Structure 1
Amino acid sequence: MPSAEKKPYYSPFDTSFVDNPFPTYAELRAYGPIYKDDNLDFYVASRFEDVKQIARDTTNFSSAQGIFIMKDADGNMVKDSSTPTPRMIEMDPPNHSQFRSLISKAFNTKQMAALEPIVQSISKELIDGLAGRDEIDFNREYGNILPVTVICDMLGCEQKHRAVFKEAADVLVYAFNKSHEEQLAARQALADLLQDQIELRKRQPDQGLITALLNATMDGQSLSADELTGFVSLLMTAGTETTTNLVSNSLAYMHHHPEVKQRLIADPSKIAGAVDEFLRLESPVQGLSRTVVNEVTINGHTFQPGSKVLLLFAAANRDASAYENPEVFDETRPGKKHLALGHGIHLCLGAHLARMEAIVALTDILKRIPDYELHLDRAVRHPVVMIRGYEQLPATIKTPITKIA
């Protein structure tokens, strides 16, 4: 039963929530464990333990019917928003387990450690490229470019196409507020681009992940063309957007909380812990959905099969029942893991990569450009409630950037 008398208003399609959804998230948590959207007939879980329980329960809650709450061209909720091309994030066991085991070796901590010097080199070159400038856009000229360069390198995609890949990935991710039909078109556009790179690696194998996947087998069978395209498409989108938005959100948070910025400048060893706090408080992915498979009761609420449930990770990450002083930024915060990168079998495969890239990025920015000044009055947020970040993040550089030899 709801614990607050007045039912709050919330919609993942209402862009008035883009700038500051957090007061409404607090209202949702206070209202009760489960909130129902009566207009589109779906549910919202906003408390930490409820979100965590549903995320790890793959028996009763499925990802196979899509992980976004979507509307069709007529404004009706789409019951199955999954992609025609299979993607690991939309798989349930046992298929998910097989696919994840196939690709997880490329994302383990050892592989990420080997990638770190490459990320550092890319970051250095990007900041060197800003030398002599007094006006820059952190997002367009750094945050957008760093992760897509890294992921292209990992996959074995040609770097000359990285801008095209990033643009296609952006269209796909930020089509969230568009109709299901428009989203499918965006997904196909990215798949078509990546298919050319897959064909290239069939002719010209290299050491990249696409070549490795072309040679991989599962139960003695090679991956189908659709399976491979789905894999690569997911890596291109998730592998770029998370880091881009994490970096921009971190810079914006420090603008509002300059004491955090000063602590990290004074002691860069705190940046690793700070990245997790930025993730917790400014989650790039605000939430994902599941479809109920069996009748199941969570915290007193019984879900019926076919129902859609939106898991609000960003709301759960500020739950006072899970975190002491949840609104306070504490880079030394012990214990409880946040849910910004998911939970259970769908914990973000690239979590190590996203953290490492953000640590490198913030370390370099705070060391080489410590006195930047953001202009948030001119910044442009993504017009999508479920993805938190910026399209444009203009800044003035007060002390000229110098190139490093």
Structure 2
Amino acid sequence: MQPQQLPEVLDLTSELFHVDQYATYRDVLEQRPVTRVRFHDGTFVWLVSRHDDVRAALGDARLSNDPAKNTALDLAAAKRIPADVAEYFHRNMFRSDEPDHGRLRKFVSGEFTMRRINALRPRIREITGELLDGFAGDRRADLVNAFAYPLSLTVICELLGVPEEDREDFRTWARHVVVSNPALQERHASSYRDLFRLVRGLVRRRQAEPGPDLLSALVGVRDSGDRLSEAEVVSMVFLLLEAGVETTVNMLGTGAFLLLSHPEQLARIRADGDLMAPAVEEVLRYMAPIEIATRHALEPLEIGGVRIAAHSTVMLNLAAANRDPARFADPQSFRITRREGSHLAFGHGIHFCLGAALARAEADTAFTLLLSRLPGLELAVHTEELIWRQAFLRGPVRLPVSWR
């Protein structure tokens, strides 16, 4: 495929980034790997795309992940978070710098362990099986809305210990907030407030009546007399929702699409189940569920030979970095036997995704049971008919499939 000549000013709202963005990412890597682009509100930001540059920037303390320090963009407004609850969505380890980040992550990492994830694996398998039982006899389903979304949200509810009587409200409001569905955008403000009230109520309930769940652990965790405040626990729950639901929905929907649209790769997995783990990694590399990570320059710095002024917004293009030919051989090919590793779908540095092990466990279980329980599984529409999420969150809105 011949590269296209990029316009002098790239606009993040244009079709270049939302129709066939991987062609654009390829051309950006070749022509302008560090370039200024126009953001949705008209301001200019920097887009960084080379693997080595993105990886280095993710670990650079001069690039802040704290929205309060971003004087160029109002990220809360961009996500339509009401001002009266915005602070509760931003007081967590992901949206903080050192030393606050280290303090918050220390509390959570002690509870978000492989032991807890491994203990949850049988329940993940049980939830997956129950969902498949619900539609296996229909011979046709939308894997995003009937499978990926309820699986990821139910797992988070189980992990946090959301009571059964609250889960329907939790699912409804969380869906309005964390799943990028244009039809639900007008409900965002009220849903943010409703979800905030529900989560704060759960936190206070666990303060009075602790249980064996992660939320109780977060409420009760202490270190040398220090503890998480109520606002920090509430914000941590929102982080788990945002990072653990929408990204997992995107990963599961995209992964199913990739496997079903690459029958030769699918046949290899069916013949050798040990290929499932590397297949999950290749899904994450090939179509990262989050394409962009945003940072704020605290001081002047240089990235890829380009001078970045202080207070600039820097967007780190994880999706382009994961297809950088300088890092990956034949990067535009989906190959489940790939062994290079080092994709950046879960980030890098101090903000490396704490839920990576949980996401991998869900994907491995979901894909394994899908392929074993639904013989002859295939796409029920042509690939060009699929509608994909925008705003740099990669995943199909719907994924109609059928089976024998």
1:131 alignment partner, SS class = helix
1:153-180 Cα shifts (integer Å, max 9, x gaps): 11111234334334433433356999x9
Match 1:330 to one of 331, 335, 349: 335
CA contact (8 A) 1:143 1:247 kept: yes
1:340-388 Cα shifts (integer Å, max 9, x gaps): 1111111111000001100000000011113122234596645423111
Judged with a 3 Å threshold, the aligned counterparts in structure 2 of structure 1 residues 189 and 51 are, in CA distance, closer, same or farther, namely farther
For 1:67 and 1:158, the matched residues in 2 are separated by: 37
CA contact (8 A) 1:176 1:183 kept: no
1:111 alignment partner, SS class = helix
Judged with a 3 Å threshold, the aligned counterparts in structure 2 of structure 1 residues 181 and 134 are, in CA distance, closer, same or farther, namely closer
State the shift of 1:271 in Å. 0.6
For 2:397 and 2:167, the matched residues in 1 are separated by: 17
Tell me the number of residue pairs that the alignment of Structure 1 and Structure 2 aligns: 389
For 1:380 and 1:164, the matched residues in 2 are separated by: 29
TM-score of the superposition, structure 2-length normalised? 0.87
Judging by fraction of residues, say which structure has more helix: 2
- Give 5+ residue unaligned stretches, structure 2: none
Judged with a 3 Å threshold, the aligned counterparts in structure 2 of structure 1 residues 132 and 67 are, in CA distance, closer, same or farther, namely farther
For 1:229 and 1:123, the matched residues in 2 are separated by: 28
2:277 alignment partner, SS class = helix
Match of 2:58 in 1: 55
For 2:186 and 2:301, the matched residues in 1 are separated by: 31
Match of 1:397 in 2: 403
Greater CA drift, 367-376 or 156-165:
156-165
For 2:305 and 2:17, the matched residues in 1 are separated by: 28
State the shift of 1:71 in Å. 6.7
Percent of aligned pairs sharing the same letter: 30
Match 2:345 to one of 336, 340, 345: 340
Query: RMSD of the alignment, in Å?
Result: 3.1
Greater CA drift, 294-303 or 350-359:
294-303
For 1:395 and 1:67, the matched residues in 2 are separated by: 45
Match of 2:67 in 1: 65
For 2:108 and 2:77, the matched residues in 1 are separated by: 38
Match of 2:23 in 1: 23
For 1:20 and 1:289, the matched residues in 2 are separated by: 21
Judged with a 3 Å threshold, the aligned counterparts in structure 2 of structure 1 residues 176 and 365 are, in CA distance, closer, same or farther, namely closer
State the shift of 1:190 in Å. 2.7
State the shift of 1:187 in Å. 4.0
Judged with a 3 Å threshold, the aligned counterparts in structure 2 of structure 1 residues 336 and 392 are, in CA distance, closer, same or farther, namely closer
Judged with a 3 Å threshold, the aligned counterparts in structure 2 of structure 1 residues 160 and 371 are, in CA distance, closer, same or farther, namely farther
CA contact (8 A) 1:70 1:176 kept: no
TM-score of the superposition, structure 1-length normalised? 0.87
1:28-50 Cα shifts (integer Å, max 9, x gaps): 11122311015421010011011
For 1:142 and 1:151, the matched residues in 2 are separated by: 14
Matching residue's letter, 2:159: M
Judged with a 3 Å threshold, the aligned counterparts in structure 2 of structure 1 residues 148 and 223 are, in CA distance, closer, same or farther, namely same
- Give 5+ residue unaligned stretches, structure 1: 399-405
State the shift of 1:87 in Å. 2.0
